[in-house]
Amino acid sequence: MSWNKDGAISYAKTHAQPQSTGNCAHYVTKAIRNGGGLNIPNTRSAKDIGITLVNAGFRLVYDQPHAGDVAVIQSIPHHDHGHVCIYDGQQWISDFVQRSMYPGPGYRELHPHYELFRHD
Q: Per-residue pLDDT tens for 97-107?
A: 999 999 999 99
Q: For residue 120, name the pLDDT band (cuts at 50, 70, 90).
A: confident
Report pLDDT for 2: 80
Q: For residue 43, name the pLDDT band (cuts at 50, 70, 90).
A: very high
Q: Is the pLDDT of residue 8 over 90?
A: yes
Q: Name the percent of the chain lying above pLDDT 70.
A: 99
Other CB atoms within a 10 A radius of the CB of residue 7 amount to 17
Sheet holding 83-87, edge to edge: 59-61, 114-118, 70-73, 83-87, 92-93
| Rounded Cα distance, 29 and 39, in Å | 9
Whether the Cβ atoms of residue 34 and residue 9 lie closer than 8 Å to each other: no
User: 71: which strand partners?
Assistant: 85, 116
Q: Is the pLDDT of residue 82 over 60?
A: yes
Other CB atoms within a 10 A radius of the CB of residue 75 amount to 16
Q: Is the pLDDT of residue 22 over 60?
A: yes
Q: Name the percent of the chain lying above pLDDT 90.
A: 92
Report pLDDT for 1: 55
| Rounded Cα distance, 11 and 52, in Å | 20
Q: What is the pTM of this model?
A: 0.96
| Rounded Cα distance, 108 and 117, in Å | 20
Q: In 3-state terms, what secondary structure has residue 38?
A: coil
